[in-house]
């Protein structure tokens, strides 16, 4: 089961959700000095989009909370692509460590 889920909130409107604090990498995120909350995961999404898939930028919006990451859009395909980028990071500690290290090296700051 994946931590990410894509739902249709109303006809033609979609949300990509992740319940913060439920991933396999939460302990690592904390060890690396971050709070694995919804705002941290927004930063993960922003960094991934900027570095790996800039074509996704502006195709969805973010609305995280402390306990939940949320991206929303009428563009279901864009959210599916974002989920494909983010899902491996919810379970792969090595990938998460590399992302946080790369983000720090580039000057990116997570808003957690």
Q: What are the extents of the domains in the chain?
A: 4-99
Q: Taking 60 as the threshold, does the pLDDT of residue 1 lie above it?
A: no
As a whole number of angstroms, the distance between CA 90 and CA 12 comes to 27
Overall CATH class of domain 4-99: alpha beta
Q: What is the pLDDT of residues 24-71, one digit of tens each?
A: 999 999 999 999 999 999 999 999 999 999 999 999 999 999 999 999
Q: For the CA atoms of 41, 46, 47, 49, what is the dihedral angle to 10 degrees?
A: 120
Instruction: Give the tens place of pLDDT for each residue, 62-112.
Output: 999 999 999 999 999 999 999 999 999 999 999 999 999 999 999 999 988
């Amino acid at each position: 089961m994946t931590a990410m889920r894509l739902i249709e909130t109303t006809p033609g409107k979609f949300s990509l959700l992740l319940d913060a604090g439920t991933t396999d990498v939460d302990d690592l995120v904390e060890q690396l000095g971050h709070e694995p909350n919804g705002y941290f995961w927004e930063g993960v999404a922003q960094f991934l989009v900027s570095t790996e898939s800039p074509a996704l930028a502006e195709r969805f919006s973010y609305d995280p909370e402390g306990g939940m990451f949320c991206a929303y859009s009428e563009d279901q395909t864009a959210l599916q692509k974002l989920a494909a980028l983010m899902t491996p990071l919810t379970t792969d500690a090595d990938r998460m460590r590399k992302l946080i290290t790369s983000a720090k090296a580039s000057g990116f700051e997570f808003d957690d």
